Structure 1
Amino acid sequence: MRLAQFLEENRGDIQDRWVNRVLDSYAGDAATIFKREDDRFANPVGYTTRHTLTTVYTLLFDQSDRPGPDLEQVRAELETFIKIRAVQTFTPASAVAFIYDLKTVVREAAARERALEATPQDWERFHDNLDALALVVFDLYMASRERLFKAQLNEIKTMNHMLTQHGCSAAGLADKTTQLMADVKPLHTHSNEAR
């Protein structure tokens, strides 16, 4: 069995292992919750991860006559998933590591398959596709992070952070006025001497 056929016939198992490995990258109880709940509204991170990775796998290893995957279609599919990872507390390397997780999952699955007769060219094509995908993912991640930083900078420039911290634009002024009033000593207009 050639590698392309192996990837097609073992699609479900490889996809499940890949999704679980990616969801395991979340800390503690989050990974358990993301794996357990399938509802897209109750679990948007888990749903998006599962949906995106299974679709990307299909786009990567489609048995068509094309020499490689349609990277623009893959990019469009990955955009929302990468935006989610860009706002989370992942390092850049951790955010894009899910591509390399697929290499590991496929290598482990291939080691268990005795009938696999993959040529060096098969493996070269497989790695080339994932390397091209990694570059797409990195570009998407950096574009998402740049948009995030620009939004934060714009918020600071327009002083909108004052609105969110204090509830309204006058609240910060009211806090300062209250502090000034507390520091003022009361004046007595009628002294004891005047009586």
Structure 2
Amino acid sequence: MRLFEFLRDNKGDIQERWVNLVLDSYSEDAAAIFKREQDRFANPVGYSTRHTLTTLYSLLFDHDTPQFDQLRPALEDFIKIRAVQTFTPASAVAFVYDLKGVIRKAVSRDRAVEAGSVDWEQLHDTLDTVALQVFDLYMACRERLYKTQLNEYKSMNHMLTQHGCPAAGLADDTTKLMADVHPLNIHSNEAR
């Protein structure tokens, strides 16, 4: 059996191992919750991970050629989630490379697979192309996040500097109140 036939025939097992490996990249407690809870709304990270990785696997291996043109929409929501988490760029993209290890282990357990160097080279090229697209998406999401934060900072700064010093507004109100109060004339005849 050729490598890509093996990947199609063993899709469920490989996908499940891959999803579990990616979810294990979170803390132990979080990973347990992400693996256990299947509801989309109660567990958006776990659901998104499972849904995205199974869709990605199908786009890469269910057809004669990988469907690279459909990757971006399939990956976008998942990468947005990873972009707001505390992942470094390398660890945010690592899930693509995790698939290489999962496939290697699955192939090594099945002696019927005839995977030549050309098949492995094609697999590595495919996953490297995906990793580059994921990295571009991740960096675009991070840039959007930083621009949003900068705009929020600027707008808050604008609110503070619109009237000068924040205490300036209080000083103006105090001056108006003081204008209505007539000062006591200590030197007047009434005071003596």
Report Cα offsets for 1:103-130 as digits up to 9, x if no partner.
0000010110010111111111111100
Return structure 1 stretches of 4+ with deviation > 6 angstroms.
Answer: 160-163
Q: Which has the larger radius of gyration?
A: 2
2:18 match: 18
1:148 paired residue number: 145
CA deviation profile, 1:10-57 (whole Å, cap 9, x unmatched): 100000000000000011311100000000000000000000000100
Match of 2:94 among 94, 97, 106: 97
* Partner Cα separation in structure 1 for residue 83 and residue 130 of structure 2: 17
Structure 2 CA distance for partners of 1:70 and 1:87, relative to 1, 3 Å:
same
**Equivalent residues of 1:155, 1:161 under 8 A apart:** no
Cα gap change, 1:156 to 1:14, in 2 (>3 Å): same
Q: How many residues align?
A: 174
| Aligned 1:1-195 pairs, distance under 5 A | 1-64=1-64, 68-159=65-156
For the structure 1 residues 108 and 156, does the alpha-carbon distance in structure 2 shift closer, same or farther, using more than 3 Å as the test?
same
Q: Say which SS state the counterpart of residue 26 (structure 1) adopts.
A: coil
Alignment TM-score, normalising by the size of structure 1: 0.81
Distance (Å, rounded) in 2 between the aligned partners of 1:71 and 1:93 = 21
CA distance change for structure 1 residues 161 and 148 in 2, over 3 Å: closer, same or farther? farther
Structure 1 unaligned blocks of 5 or more: 164-172, 182-188
Identity %: 70
Q: Using the TM superposition, give the Cα deviation of residue 60 of structure 1 relative to its aligned residue in structure 2, in angstroms.
A: 0.4
Q: Structure 1, residues 116-146: CA drift from partner, whole Å, max 9, x if none?
A: 1111111111111000000000000000000
Paired residue type of 1:91: T
